[in-house]
Structure formats: structure tokens, C-alpha cells
Amino acid sequence: MVEPDRGQEPAVDAVGVILDAVRLDRASPVPLYYQLAQGLERTVVGGLLPPGTRIDNEILLAERLGVSRPTVRQAMQYLVEQGLVVRRRGIGTKVVQPKVRRPLGLTSLFDDLRSDGQEPATSVLSLGVVGAEASVATALGLEEGAEVVELVRLRSAGNRPIAKMTNYLPVGRVEISREAIEKGGLYELIRSAGIVLHAATQTIGARTATTAEARLLDESRGAALLTMQRTAYDDHGVVVEHGNHVYAASRYSFQAQLLSP
């Protein structure tokens, strides 16, 4: 043990490490602040700047990197939003303990599972045009009974069913085929239709399984199910999709990483 390092920050030459790790290319179309932010992020998650490390002040950093102070600030702001550093006026900037960073964002279960390395399988139980029920019509902003695309899927991983997913979409906005949906997931299809997802509201609840649900999801009668209703909007505020999903609670849970406002 060479370093006593008791309660104080580890002796790391932050600015040196950063200058080594970050290469700014002014010819690149990527903004300078973003190059810097990404470089800093790599440096932090790569462990070159351990938790607790004090990062030198903006003015010094700006000088050494050859950019202006607002540019450094913009990059730092990004790191704060990612929860990688904490800044306090009069004190300085410090690398914080990194935590799991699963954002519970605008991704699908498919994406979640795939990034977990589990190869998910999907089977389409039904796909067609139906008249909208009241709740669906409300969510999509249509009249009750209006035509909507209904898509029902069973999602499995490791040969066991995980979720029954029911989605409703306005007719004609997204072209859905069974093949495409089994291959890439609904959200991939939506994005490839040129729709930019912007926001979603979702509600997570629980209830007990009906007999049919229990059989479908390979659970016992009366088992607890997680339910999730999600309505997704594009960047014009128009509803893109409404989903009503049930998950086998014994094999699935939602995780979220929260940051202070």
C-alpha cells in the first residue's frame, strides 16, 4: 500500500488522463462538446478516472483542450445528466460511483432482452383490424368502434413464455407484417417507418392471472402478473401506439435508474 488515501480523493492527475484520452477533431461533424462528453464518459466508465476523483476546473480544462469554457460546460452538463459526476458551486467536480444505468426508456421488451444477451422469440398470436374498445379509442384519440390495427404477441426467452403483448395502432401509419414483427420488434418497425418517437406515458400495475392467461404464460392459476399500459407519441404529439401488456411476474420485473431532478 503506497497510498493512504483515507477519505480524500485518490491521487489521480485528472487533467492529464483526460488530455490523453480525449482527442478533439475540429474537422469532424460531431460537435466538439459531444466529442468531449463522450471522451469523458469513456474515461470514467473505463475506470481511468475512479469514483471520487476530483476533476480540474473548467477554465483549466478549457485552456488545455483548446476550447472555450462554455463548450467544456456543455460537455460537463451531459455528464451530470448521465449521473457520472457531481458538481457543486465553490467545491468542484467529482466522479461519482457509477451504478447500473438501465433507463427504462423508450425501448421495448425485445430490445431489453436482446441487450441482455438472451435471444428472445416472438410469436404473433393475431394480427388484424378490429373496432376499438373504449379504452383503446380514448388512448388513440379515436371514436369508439373506429378501425385500429390489433397485434397480439407472445414473447418468450429461454423457451419459456414471458409476456403477452397487445398493441393497437392507427390504421395505415405503419406497415406491419408477421415476418417483420417476429424478427425485429414493434419499435424497430415504427422507427424504420420514419416515425420519431418522442414521449410515452406508461402505467405499471399488477393483477392476478385469468385462467387463460395462466395457461398461456405457463403459470399457475391466480398467479401475479405485472401489467403495463403504454401510449407512445411522435414528435408532433400524435399517438403512434398504445399497448396493453401482461408479464409473468415470476420471470420479469422492471428496473429503473433514477437521477435527482
Residues within the interface to a copy of itself (CB under 8 A): 51-52, 70, 83, 86, 88, 94, 96-97, 99-100, 103-106, 196-208, 222-226, 233, 235-238, 249-250, 252-261
29 binds DNA (CB under 7 A): yes
Q: Determine the Cα–Cα distance for residues 136 and 230; give it in Å rounded to an integer.
A: 11
Half-sphere exposure of 228 (CA within 13 A, CB side): 21
Starting at the edge strand that comes first in sequence, how are the strands of the sheet with 54-55 ordered?
Answer: 54-55, 92-95, 85-88
Q: Determine the Cα–Cα distance for residues 173 and 195; give it in Å rounded to an integer.
A: 9
90 binds DNA (CB under 7 A): yes
87 binds DNA (CB under 7 A): yes
Tell me whether residue 109 or residue 150 sits nearer to a copy of itself (CB atom). Answer: 109
Q: Determine the Cα–Cα distance for residues 57 and 231; give it in Å rounded to an integer.
A: 43
Q: Which of 16, 31, 141, 158 binds DNA (CB under 7 A)?
A: 31
93 binds, among DNA, a copy of itself, none (CB under 5 to 8 A by kind): DNA
71 binds DNA (CB under 7 A): yes
Please work out, in degrees rounded to the nearest 5, the angle formed at the alpha carbon of residue 109 by the alpha carbons of 206 and 135.
50
Give min distance, CB of 196 to a copy of itself, in A. Answer: 8
Q: Determine the Cα–Cα distance for residues 240 and 118; give it in Å rounded to an integer.
A: 28
Q: Catalog residues that contact DNA under the rule CB under 7 A.
A: 6, 29, 31-34, 55-60, 66-71, 73-74, 76, 87-93
